[in-house]
Amino acid sequence: MRTAIITGGMSGIGAACATRLSADSVRVITFDLAGGADYSLDVSKADEVDAAVAAAGPVDILINCAGIVGPNKPFWETTTAEWQKTFDVNVNGVFNLCRAVVPGMKERGWGRIVNLASIAGKEGNPNLAAYSASKAAVIGLTKALGKELATSGVLVNAIAPAVIETPMNATNTPEVLEYMVSRIPMGRLGQATEVAALVSWLASDEVSFSTAAVYDISGGRATY
């Protein structure tokens, strides 16, 4: 049985991924600040991540779902602290987890890493500059790491959803949410279970010739 760590595994896309991978007969370990997680930790804290990964044992699959929306305001009103916090969670969290699990995956010659980016990282969303920039960074990290590991048996891919019906997006203002939905040709929010289905495939043996790629799940919004 393979083992997966899912960050942000107690709600939204992370919880849907935990349910789906468990159904795929994968042993799931959740990392989250929310109650009920297997390990309660802040993914932006490298020491906490390293200790939890070591305690969890060999990890075959990493799903980086933990993230925050960050400041929902004009760019020029964004404070340094708000900008830094968004990058600490959305980018440094992915960095910390990947760095902690990659050596073991390389040693065993098999691994799957799926990083949750966003269509905002490709196109940018107004009044979400910090979030958009952080998700663009996740895409760049994924592409670089995937190329570095391309012959190792460890595959690294990203998913770029449009707006998904999750607790995180419930914090957006009605105006921002309306803007994002208006950009989706299907005219609706995506569902976490739909994203989890794509994650399931990317975390499996069925994926063998894809790495450093970004998979859109956007209801038709994505244009490249």
Q: Which of residues 167 and 101 earns the better pLDDT score?
A: 101
Looking from the CA of 31 toward its CB, the CA atoms found within 13 Å total: 30
Which residues make beta-bridge pairs with 61? Answer: 4, 112
First to last CA, the chain: 36
At 109 the pLDDT is 98
The pLDDT of 23-49, averaged and rounded, is 97
Name the most confidently modeled range: 92-106, 157-171, 181-195.
92-106
d(CA 30, CA 151): 28
Q: How many residues does the chain have?
A: 224
At 188 the pLDDT is 87
The pLDDT of 127-136, averaged and rounded, is 97
pTM score, whole prediction: 0.94
Which residues make beta-bridge pairs with 28? Answer: 4
The pLDDT of 172-185, averaged and rounded, is 79
What does residue 220 show for φ and ψ, rounded to 5 degrees?
A: 100, 0
d(CA 105, CA 155): 10
The pLDDT of 28-51, averaged and rounded, is 97
- Secondary structure class of 196 (helix, strand, coil): helix
Percent of the chain past pLDDT 90, that is, above it, reads: 84
Q: Is 215 a catalytic residue?
A: no
> Per-domain residue ranges for the chain?
3-217
| Domain 3-217 class, CATH top level | alpha beta
The answer to whether the Cα torsion of 20, 145, 8, 198 is positive or negative is negative
Looking from the CA of 122 toward its CB, the CA atoms found within 13 Å total: 19
The pLDDT of 97-110, averaged and rounded, is 98
pLDDT digits (tens, 9 = 90+) for 139-164: 999 999 999 999 999 999 999 998 88
Of the residues 131, 179, 215, 224, only one is catalytic, namely 131
d(CA 11, CA 31): 11
Looking from the CA of 199 toward its CB, the CA atoms found within 13 Å total: 34
At 187 the pLDDT is 86
d(CA 70, CA 138): 15
At 76 the pLDDT is 98
Q: Which of residues 167 and 88 earns the better pLDDT score?
A: 88
Helix segments in the chain, DSSP class H: 12-23, 46-56, 80-87, 93-108, 120-123, 129-148, 174-182, 192-202
Place of tokens 């994505």: 222
d(CA 208, CA 154): 10
